[in-house]
Structure 1
Amino acid sequence: MDLSMSLTDVLALLALGGVAGFINVLSAGGSMLTLPLLMFLGLPPQVANGTNRVAITLQSVTAVGGFRRMGHGNLKVSLLLAVPAILGSLLGAWLATDVPDAVFEVVLVLAMVGASVFMLLPQPRLDTRPLTPERLGPVVYFAMFLIGLYGGFIQVGVGALFIVVLYRILKIDLPQVNVFKVAIVLLYTLPALLVFALNDQVRWGMGLTLALGNITGAFLAVRVNLSPRGAQWVKWLTLTMVAAILLRLVLH
């Protein structure tokens, strides 16, 4: 544990981390809670951005392991989708390590507003089908590169982008979108975390404390994922908390 952390800091990281881990697996927007929290606890924006990746990585390990034990996932397709996302994340993380604080805070607010608006939009009912390698193509791979670029840079609301590509374009059912999402996020977050760590922009004590909460939330979310309506109430919980955080960021 970082010596600078108080008991209140630890409890806040564990509690909000648990909520974020649950949200990240079932829907989108967990980083809209945890990234501002790390900044409110005194970390510079770039360091908060890097530290948040510790929790995302371990949360994703938990979710991927849980889904695989339940027999869900397609390793071949996940790897095919992850390769361009990894390339994008390396570029995005590299750009994020040197962005001015004021610019990052503006990007964070815009990302949170954009993700919140997307979450308010109704999801169309689609005839979904399993995802196989032959259904992939240049457009999908380029979209994965862009998702990786965005995720490497800031991660906030990246789940909404996966819903656009995997659900709306490739027409995979939403529970399976979550299975692919956590696998791809894990694979592209590892190199992004390395970039931040090499630039001394990770505070491991805070990141690991946050990760304990994220892991717990992810563990519970894996068991809710199979319910088609499992994430409906999560959206409103997320939006309520995000509204309060946005108000704090804007008035800061």
Structure 2
Amino acid sequence: MEHLFNIDLNLWQFLIFMVVGVLTGIINTIAGSGSLITLPIFIFMCGLSPSVANATNRIGVFLQSLVATTTYAKSKPEIFKDSLWLIIPSVLGAILGSKIAVDLDEKTMNYTIGGLMVFMLLILLFKPDKWLITDKDISKNQNKTIGSFIVFFLIGIYGGFLQAGVGFFLLAGLVLVSKYSLTQSNGLKLALVLAFTAPALALFIFYGKVHFGYGILMGVFQAIGAWIGVKYISKIPNANLWIYRLLIVIVAASALKFFL
């Protein structure tokens, strides 16, 4: 158990780790898919196995989501009204998804994450946000449907299984299925990730898959990034555009690395 707390980083690696943590905290708060950056860092720089990296990544996701959701709720608490209908199926799905991840062998997990990188690169290139409703508020109790329950249960399974890129699916589900505006969806996305990450992280800890040293260190930096993202970066014009470009470069490089 002691090795799950050991941190072996030189000065330059620590600085990269810190920058990545803060940056992905910002990215996950105002855009999403920061896990597409942290997963390769855990695997290729920290030397964690794919399954342990996948589990360890949840500490940072949980901490940054906690900071971002509480900060967001102070300014726009009305956004989270009636969100329990979406949270419950997401949590149930995440428990199932994380159990699948625990049982998967290392080789399969490695190829799964590599395949995910390619898939998410294609999603990034096709800019799915272009077909999402942006400003019009059309959420008038339309979210409480069986369709929404099923969709968010499935998204929860994916979130519990891999997490990386789940923000895209949450936004699509919230806008296209549950009929929220994109503005509302960005806030609700944070709460949903927080809700279904908690049981997934608990299950990974139970099965001894989490490296607490790297996970907590990354989580602290991501929480700082999340606070910066909500308070400042989200107000900067074209911030999403630069994050989008950065994600394409990093995800493309990571996908290539997984299959070499």
Q: 1:73 to 1:44 in 2, by over 3 A?
A: farther
Q: Is the 1:77–1:132 contact (alpha carbons within 8 Å) kept by the matching residues of 2?
A: no
For residues 210-250 of structure 1, what are the alpha-carbon distances to aligned partners after superposition, in whole Å with 9 as ceiling and x for unaligned? 01221122112213436785422211111111112222222
Q: Secondary structure at the match of 1:77?
A: coil
1:180 maps to 2:188: yes
**TM-score, normalising length: structure 1:** 0.91
Name 1:161's counterpart in structure 2.
Answer: 169
Which residue, 67, 75, 88 being the options, matches 1:70?
75
Q: Which amino acid is 1:173 matched to? A: S
TM-superposed CA distance for 1:132, in Å, is 4.4
**TM-score, normalising length: structure 2:** 0.89
Name 1:121's counterpart in structure 2.
Answer: 126
For 1:4 and 1:219, locate their aligned partners in 2 and report how far apart those are by CA, in whole Å. Answer: 25
Q: Which amino acid is 1:242 matched to? A: V
Name 1:104's counterpart in structure 2.
Answer: 109
TM-superposed CA distance for 1:14, in Å, is 1.7
Name 2:245's counterpart in structure 1.
Answer: 236
Q: Secondary structure at the match of 2:180?
A: coil
1:27 maps to 2:31: yes
For 1:133 and 1:189, locate their aligned partners in 2 and report how far apart those are by CA, in whole Å. Answer: 26
1:148 maps to 2:153: no
For 1:118 and 1:37, locate their aligned partners in 2 and report how far apart those are by CA, in whole Å. Answer: 21
For 1:63 and 1:109, locate their aligned partners in 2 and report how far apart those are by CA, in whole Å. Answer: 28
TM-superposed CA distance for 1:178, in Å, is 1.5
TM-superposed CA distance for 1:81, in Å, is 0.6
Q: Secondary structure at the match of 2:208?
A: coil
For 2:13 and 2:107, locate their aligned partners in 1 and report how far apart those are by CA, in whole Å. Answer: 24
Q: Gaps (5+ residues) in structure 1?
A: none
Q: Secondary structure at the match of 2:56?
A: helix
Which residue, 173, 193, 213 being the options, matches 1:205?
213
Alpha carbon RMSD of aligned pairs, Å?
2.0
Q: Is the 1:10–1:209 contact (alpha carbons within 8 Å) kept by the matching residues of 2?
A: no
Q: Gaps (5+ residues) in structure 2?
A: none
Q: Is the 1:166–1:172 contact (alpha carbons within 8 Å) kept by the matching residues of 2?
A: yes
TM-superposed CA distance for 1:75, in Å, is 3.3
Q: Secondary structure at the match of 2:95?
A: helix
Alignment length, in residue pairs?
251
Q: Superposition pairs for residues 6-21 of structure 1, below 5 Å?
A: 6-7=9-10, 8-21=12-25
Q: Which amino acid is 1:177 matched to? A: S
For 1:199 and 1:214, locate their aligned partners in 2 and report how far apart those are by CA, in whole Å. Answer: 24
For 1:99 and 1:57, locate their aligned partners in 2 and report how far apart those are by CA, in whole Å. Answer: 22
Q: Secondary structure at the match of 2:131?
A: coil
Q: Is the 2:51–2:106 contact (alpha carbons within 8 Å) kept by the matching residues of 1?
A: yes
